[in-house]
A and B are shown apart, each in its own frame.
Chain A
């Protein structure tokens, strides 16, 4: 009764309800968006290579910073992890597919349309969104270009896609686990995604509310965010960050999951504290809801509010520390090898922790008075977003791709890519800490001469980092088309979990009969 994918290209990819094919679609879409968002970043860094306006106009620069953020967060990183979830969750819990396969198709196919609408605004009169990815009112309402309505529609579509995707994941994990796969036996990747899905369902409607209020203010004369009509621009920031802070954990929690799968494999030793990892993930998710205003330390909150948000933010260091300690003690007394996925995960642990350190510094409100909205913040969140989410995503592809397509990637090329990316990343973002401390604000299209040197270094690093991604693309395509065949179901000596019990590559439909987990 098992049958393969449709022979017809259109039917196979556009009508697909298969979790593996939809996972593949998500991953390719996300990589395309990653290159597009990267291209925007290259334009930004090229303009900032020297002081003065050389290549583009300031208004286009603002569109580039905005689109870079939106495309990377909503187009590249989030769909990448949804793609991984689609491929892996059914295989990890012993399910034949996702619980809601048709909705799965819809939640993916919304995305290309949402991003076509968003990116098309760049070519419209007045240009694309130019108010930053945080789109603070009233810059994004009264003072926005007319194309802001397309932006709002695009955000609504992305939100609908994310909510459907997360409902699907929750339904799958709750209902389709194989016999014996209790919650506390689920792989950590599944656990982190289950918690992430709940975060998404909770905060995506908040984002939808924020953009709907914008829509009303712009087109229907309401004054939610306009003080002249009795509204409050600061209200926008509270609503946005009530979504926005959980959002950054939505991005990083699945990354934690990936790292918690890969480090044990290449340490040949089980994860040190499985249950404390689960509890730490839940604790981080909970804290993410009660710290949002630490993004707003300079809006002039009363001191009681400011103190509360400072203390609550400092607390996040505790569960995050638990995670880092667990990864390191997993490696302790293991038998370590350093294949490309492991290299990316080790870099993740080091650089993410570094980003955590700057995060702790940022939580100290008095010092944040100096850091806020400078390049120090830009450096901080690129350490957790790029070295966190993107590095772990890259690790995941190198780790599971041989399983998925039954072909091995080129290890030397993978290592070259790793070192290029690792070095280039630090050349790009380490100097941005110095720029921020020396006083350079973020989202600046031009800067004084005192910032010229570090900006030049940072731009050189960014171009190198961009190049490393093309090498990654080449390695992936080479693997799928011409890689050395792998037949061992386990692929990696230390791999553990249900997905590794399947043949390599796994057939189109797997676990039609559920396995029994002891």
Chain B
């Protein structure tokens, strides 16, 4: 009995100690953030400036008002033997405390207006990028360049559920970041595919809702290369916190090199569609895609979540004709969270992930699905 108590006590001490050390480590690495980043664009700097101005104005008002209040609480306590006065209402005072705040507000309206005008200055961009929010990932399309790709969370389920140590970039890492050049005015045209998302990059002060059926716009122009991390800021379902925005700003020359590489990749890809993929190639590729695009809902072992996301183990679609299985991925299921992947995954990815599902977790179909099957399905429609 005593031993047990001692063990609990030790566990408790260990817990307290781990809390304290983690707080200490955080403090050392400068994590106790207090304020908004100033950011790297004209818009973000002006948002920061107007934020600081408002804060100073509020602090000044607070010092005066609360200062007077604390003086009253000290000086006019009954325990000091004071007698209550009986006055009330004073026209002059009441007019003053209505007009003075109104004047302060008028003063603040000017910087508030000019900074907002900057946010809305989206005309004449050098580059247009379409940003589409999906449950729970982003798609970036370089308009006029023929380049389009998905950007999904790369942090593993194991890290999220405490089965593996959390990496340095926990929930801040994606499969492919958005890449933009320095010194170019980039306009983001933002929309949603399913529910409303919101695309936010704090260092650009860009936050616009991604609304299905509508476009919102925002812009950024910066001279500072680097990696800027943001987030989805409109509740969009269960993995709302698992669709980070990562933007990499490259020097102009590097950007064009990257763009050329991207285009070459697309050409190279075309040549792999016709190839006959082996079972092991498909399984390896399929497992990777499943982890990124499917496991969020259908879970790591295909077991799904009762009542929300169907299980894939022995399901009628997974064990049915290949044709129907491809159809589900290409078309999605209207009115449900199962979206169309035709635009999100390549033919190779779709073939591989279908093959993987049909030959995992006790599903044993022993058939092979080739990228060409997917392409044929798409073209037949």
B-binding residues in A (CB < 8 A) = 51-54, 57-59, 62, 125-127, 130-132, 136, 138-139, 142-143, 145, 226-228, 232-234, 267-276, 298-300, 303, 306-307, 310-311, 314-315, 317-318, 321-322, 324-325, 328-338, 346, 349-350, 353-354, 357-358, 360-361, 364-367, 369-370, 372-374, 434, 437-439, 441-450, 452-454, 456, 494
Contact = CB atoms under 8 A, between A and B. Distances in A.
A444 B198 CA distance: 13
B98 A139 contact: no
B85 A334 contact: yes
A297 B281 CA distance: 48
Interface string B75-117: 0111100111111111001100110011001001100110111
A452 B237 CA distance: 22
B61 interface: yes
Interface string B201-233: 010011111011111110000000000001111
A300 to B, nearest CB: 3
Top 7 A-B pairs ranked by shortest CB distance?
A227-B213, A300-B216, A366-B115, A438-B33, A125-B307, A444-B241, A357-B58
A325 B309 CA distance: 55
Contact of B97 (A232, A325, A333): A325
A53 B162 contact: yes
A130 B337 CA distance: 14
Interface stretch (B34-42, B260-268, B367-375): B34-42
A51 B159 CA distance: 10
Contacts of A494: 84
Contact of A350 (B69, B83, B85, B89): B69
A54 B214 CA distance: 37
A54 to B, nearest CB: 7
Interface residues of B, number: 108
B200 A454 contact: no
Contact of A303 (B33, B85, B120, B307): B120
A361 B49 CA distance: 12
A446 B135 CA distance: 16
Contacts of A330: 88
Nearest to B22: A452
B58 A361 contact: yes
Contact of B36 (A336, A373, A437): A437
Interface stretch (B138-146, B167-175, B346-354, B355-363): B167-175
B235 A136 contact: yes
Contact of A450 (B33, B84, B205, B238): B33
Nearest to B36: A437
Contacts of B310: none
B84 A439 contact: no
Nearest to A276: B94
A226 B19 CA distance: 47
A298 B234 CA distance: 10
B185 to A, nearest CB: 18
6 contacts: A299-B209, A321-B98, A333-B84, A353-B62, A373-B234, A445-B240
Given A51-B170, A367-B115, A322 B98 contact: yes
